[in-house]
């Protein structure tokens, strides 16, 4: 379960981004994240753990600096021991926003999972710090994370492997690079195991701004595919052989673009005013 809010509505935004966010032109998603975090006075903590490139953290420091942020801490966490260091916990406690880069989400779960850094991220988000993640960082924000899986539009038994994520929310399962990598099947497969969560399929350069009121607002150039299984009448996952299609009856899909909203409580979607 996510860390409890100190007061109702005190949780910070949770912002999964589908990857390949615009870093050069309008930079709409990154600008909105910075604005939430305090604009020029924001203090950001960048976690590049998912990436194996030494330059990733410095690249985002430069990107955020070019957008006017003066205080950017890059947390060099490459091993589990690094995620227990007091200086990293201190940086998270003073941050107004946390940003996890792309790479391999299993690096995030295996290096950060259960550490002081992960516990602190959950705690500060519950008290108001905004947490964003792109690509692998987006997959990691939820309690149930898609570790890996095969492409394709049809749900197939064994197509997706799940593991524990950071657990900022248990209401959604996130998949990224969604349309670009044909990932509808693996998202539906993930939901077929336990039809509790909402599936969020994020196109590249597209983000879900999940507010403390549990309303998602879509931002960016692509779309979000929302798979709502709250009225699922049948899941064949328990009886189907591995490698065979999984029967699902009663799935509801929404395709939402910039400005559209979806309420996680009532499962109500509304179109955006912009086209």
How buried is residue 26: exposed, middle or buried, by Cβ count under 10 Å (0-12/13-18/19+)? exposed
The whole-number pLDDT of residue 2 equals 81
Give 93-121 pLDDT, tens digit per residue: 999 999 999 999 999 999 999 999 999 99
When pLDDT is cut at 50, 70 and 90, the band that residue 194 belongs to is: confident
Which of 88, 144, 204, 254 does the annotation list as catalytic?
204
Q: Which of 109, 177, 235, 257 is catalytic?
A: 177
Catalytic residue, chosen from 109, 135, 142, 257, is 135
Burial (CB count <10 Å: 0-12, 13-18, 19+), residue 233: exposed
Task: Indicate if 130 belongs to the active site.
Answer: no
The yes-or-no verdict on residue 275 having pLDDT over 60 is no
| DSSP per-residue codes, 204-269 | TTEEEEE-TTSEEEEEESSEEEEEE-TT--EE-TTTPPTTSBPPEES-EEEEEETT-EEETTTTEE
Cα–Cα distances in Å, from 70 out to 62, 88, 102?
10, 18, 22
Give the pLDDT confidence of 224-273 residue by residue, as tens digits.
Answer: 999 999 999 999 999 999 999 999 999 999 999 999 999 999 999 999 97
**4-46 pLDDT tens trace:** 887 788 999 999 999 999 999 999 999 999 999 999 999 999 9
Q: List the structure tokens of 253.
A: 């899909």
Q: Give the separation between CA 183 and CA 96, rounded to whole angstroms.
A: 33
Q: What percent of the chain has pLDDT over 70?
A: 99
CATH of 14-264, one of 1.10.238.10, 3.40.50.880, 3.40.50.10490, 2.60.120.620: 3.40.50.880
């Amino acid at each position: 379960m996510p860390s409890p809010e100190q007061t109702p509505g005190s949780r910070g935004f949770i912002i999964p981004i589908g990857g390949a966010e615009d870093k050069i032109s309008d930079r709409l998603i990154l600008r909105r994240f910075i604005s939430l975090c305090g604009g020029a006075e924001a203090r950001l903590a960048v976690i590049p753990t998912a990436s194996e490139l030494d330059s990733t953290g410095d690249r985002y420091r430069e990107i955020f600096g070019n957008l006017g942020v003066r205080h950017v801490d890059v947390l060099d966490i490459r091993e589990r021991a690094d995620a227990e260091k007091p200086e990293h916990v201190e940086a998270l406690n003073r941050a107004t926003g946390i940003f996890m880069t792309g790479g391999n989400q299993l690096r995030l779960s295996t290096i950060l999972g259960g550490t002081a850094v992960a516990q602190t991220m959950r705690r500060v988000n519950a008290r108001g710090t905004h947490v964003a993640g792109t690509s692998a960082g987006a997959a990691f924000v939820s309690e149930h994370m898609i570790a890996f899986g095969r492409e394709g539009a049809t749900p197939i038994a064994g197509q997706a492997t799940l593991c524990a994520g950071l657990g900022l929310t248990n209401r959604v399962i996130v998949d990224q690079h969604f349309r670009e990598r044909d990932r509808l099947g693996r998202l539906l497969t993930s939901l077929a195991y336990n039809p509790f969560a909402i599936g969020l399929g994020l196109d590249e350069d597209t983000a879900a701004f999940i507010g403390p009121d549990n309303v998602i607002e879509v931002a960016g150039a692509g779309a979000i595919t929302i798979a709502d299984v709250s009225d699922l009448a049948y899941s064949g996952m328990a009886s189907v052989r591995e490698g065979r299609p999984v029967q699902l009856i009663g799935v509801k899909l929404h395709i939402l673009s910039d400005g559209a909203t979806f309420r996680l409580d009532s499962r109500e979607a509304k179109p955006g005013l912009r086209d």
